[in-house]
Amino acid sequence: MKVCLIYPGIVGKGFDSIGQGMDSGWISHGLAILSACAKKAGHNVSLIDLRAMKGWEHFERELAARAPDAVAVTIMSADYNPAMRCLELAKQVNPQVVTMVGGAHATIMPHELADNPIIDHIIIGEGENVFPEALDKLARGEAVEQIITGDHPDLDAIPYADHNLFIDEWRAQGYAVTSPEAPFVQELPPPFVTMIAGRGCMYNCSYCQPAERHIFGRKVRRRSVANVIGELEMLRDQFNFASMMFHDDCLTEDREWVIEFCQAYRAAGFTQPFFCQSRADIIVKNDDMVALMAKVGLRGYFIGFESGSDRVLRFIRKGTKRAQNLAAARICKKYGIAIWANYMLGLPTETKEEVLETISMLKEIDPDYYSPAFYTPHPGSDLYDYCMENDLSLITDHDSFRRNPDEAKIKGVDYEWLNWALGESQVRTPTNRLKRATRRIWRRYAQPKKIIRKLRRMILPERNPA
């Protein structure tokens, strides 16, 4: 069966944006894995990535040229509008085409999609097993239910993600892509790749849960270290990657897995630098694990500091404290690990004084990278329900589910002042600016080879040409 997977993620950078940072430079692992599963079952799979299209007319031409039997669209809440437009055009191009949707929004908000005549089937949860099974039935002319409930597959039993699905499509659309995905920090040179080692999160933050459990179940499931190393070896053979990143919500929550991975990573000959997500409390409690990770290639942690107020941290059920945030930053600096600081401003019940606590915390942490967001109530989370119950949400369009800090999200927040706070949160203290400038100069000039060359030029007279 000919199936066309569609990635609709243009709310950030728009059409014709491949390679422009995270929004437009990374693959969808969900689609890449579904592609591998469908191909394994014998189906013909192609991809249309809206980010590689010039516009809607280009999308229509591509869809007509490929003439798929089915189109399958992944939907995050922020991608709802372009996803619906894709489905409308698919039915216009071929009224008989079978349309399927899946992804986080489909799983959390199926009632928003169930009565839509342009949607034939909705896959809820994980689709690695049920998606190819549905394609098999359709190919045989058998009936397929509208709501298809996925199961939780054995992560070691499913194929590796089809990384070529995206890079081949980008190149086919005229992009001169040299890196499988777009590197985004100086510590991670191209060719750069990303991967996922597990699914789920054991923590209970109110801005995420229980949505995550609805998708992946209550328990965290992680691939075996051998399986992860196997995919990395495949990526090394295919792309000779120079750096990589884990997408896992919290790679470091299983200490024994991390230690085993570090040992296997080094034993397999990998020296490539990598980033992953962690938590302040984990870092503080596992100094030796952090040291080991740094030794084998860890160059940066994404850390959800979220707030500098202990009251706010309790309110959002983060499970960490301000003191742990500060201590984790000190440990990272001790081992030369870059800090990507995720934090939110404008949370429900947050006062201006508590925002100032976040700002003061960030000035003390002095992260390498700032990643701020205005709190955005996302469907499926307890904090979203709180906002709806208290009539706080200002979101009237799906596009606004982006975590961008440039529009009002909830009532009761002085966003004019919050924009000042956003800017101030990223102003380094004079002392920290001086420290960073000194480190840059030291890294640039205090290298043994450079020092030797300079000494030679100073000691040995220049030879004049004969």
DSSP-assigned letters across all residues of 35-48: HHHHHHTT-EEEEE
Tokens describing residue 85: 């437009």
- The pLDDT score that the predictor gives to residue 465 is 43
**Residue with tokens 């597959």, as numbered in its chain:** 153
Matching CATH number, 178-444, of 3.40.47.10, 3.40.50.720, 3.40.50.10860, 3.20.20.70: 3.20.20.70
Task: Give the whole-angstrom CA distance, residue 324 versus residue 338.
Answer: 17
The answer to whether the beta carbons of residues 4 and 70 sit under 8 Å apart is: yes
What band does 459 get if pLDDT is binned at 50, 70 and 90?
low
Tokens describing residue 46: 């192609």
Tokens describing residue 277: 């997500």
What band does 438 get if pLDDT is binned at 50, 70 and 90?
confident
Helices marked H in 217-351? 225-239, 255-267, 280-285, 287-296, 310-315, 322-334
Q: Which residues contact 331 (CB under 8 A, 6 or more apart)?
A: 283, 284, 287, 290, 337
Helix (H, G, I), strand (E, B) or coil at 285: helix
Helices marked H in 297-429? 310-315, 322-334, 352-365, 382-389, 415-425
- The pLDDT score that the predictor gives to residue 442 is 78
Q: Mean pLDDT, to the nearest integer, of 326-347? A: 98
Compute the mean pLDDT over every residue in the chain, rounded to the nearest whole number.
Answer: 95
What tens digit of pLDDT does each residue of 388-413 get? 999 999 999 999 999 888 899 999 99
Task: Give the whole-angstrom CA distance, residue 396 versus residue 400.
Answer: 8
Task: Give the whole-angstrom CA distance, residue 414 versus residue 15.
Answer: 33
**Residue-wise burial string across 193-214, b where 16 or more C-beta atoms lie within 10 A, e elsewhere:** bbbbbbbbbebebbbbbebbee
What angle, 0 to 180 degrees and rounded to 10, lies between the N-to-C axes of helices 80-93 and 56-66?
A: 50
Task: Give the whole-angstrom CA distance, residue 461 versus residue 322.
Answer: 58
Burial class from Cβ neighbours inside 10 Å (0-12, 13-18, 19+) for residue 8 reads buried
In a 13 Å sphere around the CA of 66, the CA atoms on its Cβ side amount to 24
Helix (H, G, I), strand (E, B) or coil at 124: strand
Task: Give the whole-angstrom CA distance, residue 318 versus residue 304.
Answer: 9
Residue 448 has pLDDT above 80, yes or no: no
Task: Give the whole-angstrom CA distance, residue 125 versus residue 103.
Answer: 7
* Chain length of the chain: 466
Tokens describing residue 105: 């929004």
Task: Name the E strands within 34-97.
Answer: 44-49, 70-74
What are the CA-CA distances from residue 238 to residues 168, 197, 230, 407, 416 (Å)? 13, 19, 12, 42, 49
The percentage of the chain sitting over the pLDDT mark of 70, rounded to a whole number, equals 95
Q: Mean pLDDT, to the nearest integer, of 116-140? A: 98
The pTM of the full predicted model, rounded to 2 decimals, is 0.93
Its sign, for the CA torsion 128, 133, 139, 145, is negative
In angstroms, how far is the first alpha carbon of the chain from the final one? Answer: 76
DSSP category for residue 393: B
Residue 241 has pLDDT above 80, yes or no: yes
Task: Give the whole-angstrom CA distance, residue 187 versus residue 164.
Answer: 24
What tens digit of pLDDT does each residue of 201-228 get? 999 999 999 999 999 999 999 999 999 9
- The architecture of the domain spanning 2-149 is 3-Layer(aba) Sandwich (3.40)
Residue 463 has pLDDT above 50, yes or no: no
- The pLDDT score that the predictor gives to residue 129 is 98
The identity of residue 263, as a single letter, is Q
Strand partners, 193: 244
Q: Which residues contact 236 (CB under 8 A, 6 or more apart)?
A: 270
The answer to whether the beta carbons of residues 276 and 248 sit under 8 Å apart is: yes
Q: Mean pLDDT, to the nearest integer, of 186-199? A: 97
Structural domain spans, the chain: 2-149, 178-444
Strand 198-199 to strand 221-222: parallel, antiparallel, or no bridges (unpaired)? antiparallel
Residue 464 has pLDDT above 70, yes or no: no
Burial class from Cβ neighbours inside 10 Å (0-12, 13-18, 19+) for residue 133 reads middle
Comparing CA positions, the residue from 184, 227, 186 lying closest to residue 371 is 184
Task: Give the whole-angstrom CA distance, residue 380 versus residue 383.
Answer: 9
- The pLDDT score that the predictor gives to residue 451 is 59
